[in-house]
Amino acid sequence: MVDGQIKMSDEELMRQLQNGQKETFDEIVLRYKDRLVNFIYRFSGNKKDSEDIAIETFLRVYQNSGSYDSSRPFSSWFYKIAMNLTLNRIREIKSHPTISLSEEIKEGMPVEQVIAVAEESPQESLLRNERAARVKKAISGLPEHLRSVIIMREYQDMDYETIASVLDCPIGTVRSRLSRARELLKKTLKDLMEE
């Protein structure tokens, strides 16, 4: 995108990529790379694996750009590819997400939150880290079909329609799974919520 031009939609960028304008792919990567790594990390729990899967996702998007239907939302198609690759990797290595307390402060965290974290006492910091670890552990303990909807909705802020498209299921199923996931998390984290 050249300065002064109107920002093209993802769908328009894909149409241009399909028409041989390969430089539009750079814009897609710029728009999605950070969100994609974060999305994958929520499932894998491993930063290195997340980056590797993100690269593979972009490679698949590029290689399969001709199969993309530009009348449908790009983000649904994109995240479906990422989700499939992530779940395949998790099954392949048969690992469970690990919890890394050193990755609590990430790019994109509001400055106020970073400052608040920096001004915490060691005891407050330890308590916050313990809570975050318990929440991550509770989410990673959910069945895959429930974990995926909670991550997409709560961490990726995807709407129900996008989640339904990524998971290839009806919106009612997404709502039901989300409700069940929240119910299980409330039970698992009941004592934490009472603090």
The answer as to whether 153 is a domain residue is: yes
Domain count, the chain: 2
Asked if 112 and 194 sit in the same domain, the reply is yes
pLDDT tens, position by position, 67-106:
999 888 999 999 999 999 998 888 776 544 444 444 444 4
Give the domain-ending residue among 48, 78, 96. Answer: 96
Average pLDDT on 164-193 reads 90
pLDDT of residue 107: 45
Whether 1 is in a domain gets the answer no
The domain boundary, picked from 96, 116, 146, lies at 96
Q: Residue 22 pLDDT > 70, yes or no?
A: yes
Q: Residues 118, 187: one domain?
A: yes
Distance separating alpha carbons of residues 35 and 44, to the nearest angstrom: 14
85 and 115 in a single domain? The answer is: no
pLDDT tens digits for range 122-154: 777 777 778 888 888 888 889 989 999 999 998
Residues 113 and 195 reside in one and the same domain: yes
Is the residue at 28 inside a domain?
A: yes
Q: In a 10 Å sphere around its CB, with 0-12 CB exposed, 13-18 middle and 19+ buried, how is residue 128 labelled?
A: middle
130-158: string of b/e by CB count within 10 Å (b at 16+)?
A: eeeeeebbbbbebeeebbbbbbbbeebeb
Name the domain boundary from 27, 62, 96: 96
Output the pLDDT for position 100: 44
The answer to whether residue 173 scores a pLDDT higher than 80 is: yes
Give percent of the chain above pLDDT 90. Answer: 51
Which range marks the domain in which residue 146 is found? Answer: 106-195
Cα 144 from chain centroid (whole Å): 14
Residue 104 to residues 30, 43, 99, 100, Cα–Cα distance (Å): 23, 16, 10, 8
Q: Which two tokens stand for residue 137?
A: 């552990």
Q: For residues 195 and 192, give the distance between their C-alpha atoms in angstroms, rounded to a whole number.
A: 5
Half-sphere exposure of 186 toward its Cβ, with a 13 Å CA cutoff?
6
What is the overall mean pLDDT for the chain?
A: 83
**What predicted TM-score, i.e. pTM, was given to this entire model?**
0.65
